[in-house]
Each structure stands twice: as C-alpha cells, then as structure tokens.
Amino acid sequence: MKIRVLVFAALLAVAFSVSAYAAAECNAIPWGEPISTVEQITFSHAVNGVKYYSVTKVDPCGIFEVEQGEVTYGFLGGKLYTTLVEIDKAKDVKKVVTTLMDSYGVPDHKKIDNWDVYRWETDDLKIKLKSQYSTDRIKIGMYYKPLTPKE
C-alpha cells in the first residue's frame, strides 16, 4: 500500500510540476498563476482567505492519465496557491512511486486515525498525501510555499 500511495503522489507531483515543460505538455495551471488567466473556472467555497474553484478546461495529464480524481484549486491573493485532489477508489498507482521518490526523496510518514500520512517538502512546495488502505481513498494537497501566509 505504501508503494501505491507513493506512486500516486509522484504522478500528482509530475502533473502539477512548477516547470514550464510540465505546464506546456499538459496545460496544468502554473503555481502562482493569476486567477484572471484561468478559463472555465467555477467558485466552490472560501476558507481562511483561500478561494477554492473547480476548473473544467485542464487537460488530463500526469496523475489523471492513471487515476481519475476530483481536483480543487485554491487561490490566495488571486494566485494559485494550492491544488487538492481526492480519489475515492484508487487503481494502480505504481507508475508514480519512482517518479515521486526521484523528485522528492523519501517522505516523512506517520499513521494518524486510520490514515497513512506522507509529507514531502521542496524549496517551493509542501506536499501532503493521506491514504486510507481500507477504502482505497487518497487525498493529496500541494501548497506553493512562496504564497504561504506568514504567521
């Protein structure tokens, strides 16, 4: 199960990579992108100053070529700050593990309330993946650190 989760997270990381190459290849919304440049966006809700939207004009790429999930984009100060993905029933995510570990190394891992929680951190991103083995449910949050509010 740990490998499944790691594979999934790696694919997600590839799908939402901050590199121009990834954005050009799969039309992912680049981190920090102004909301005004995003087409076909629908407001969902707001929490702690972050406005969450669903976007219907993002082509499937990366993780979504393997796993179909529900994606919510969070904008802080009008710029893309977070991407949240939820998958109710995960399929095979082995293709992601190698990529994620190659990109981000070995994650921190904890077991919290029947969830396996994995965390990675780079200069620009915080990534949190929660997986529940009994239901094959996976939640992934990616946060663009340059926009993180100062406490």
User: With 50 as the cut, is the pLDDT of residue 7 above it?
Assistant: no
Domain total for the chain? 1
DSSP labels for the chain?
Answer: -HHHHHHHHHHHHHHT-SSHHHHHHH-PPPTT-BGGG--SEEEEEEETTEEEEEES-----GGGGT---EEEEEEETTEEEEEEEEESS----HHHHHHHHHHH-SPEEEEETTEEEEEEE-SSEEEEEEEETTTTEEEEEEEEGGGPPP-
Tokens, residue 25: 């290849």
Higher pLDDT, 122 or 6: 122
pLDDT on residue 85: 81
Among the listed residues 62, 56, 54, the one whose alpha carbon sits nearest the alpha carbon of residue 8: 62
User: Per residue in 52-71, pLDDT tens?
Assistant: 998 776 554 554 544 567 78
Look up the pTM and report it. Answer: 0.73
Which amino acid, 106?
V
Structural domain of 9: 2-147
User: With 80 as the cut, is the pLDDT of residue 148 above it?
Assistant: yes
User: Per residue in 69-119, pLDDT tens?
Assistant: 778 899 999 999 998 888 777 664 444 444 556 677 888 889 999 888 889
Integer angstrom CA distances of residue 50 from 54, 80, 92: 13, 10, 32
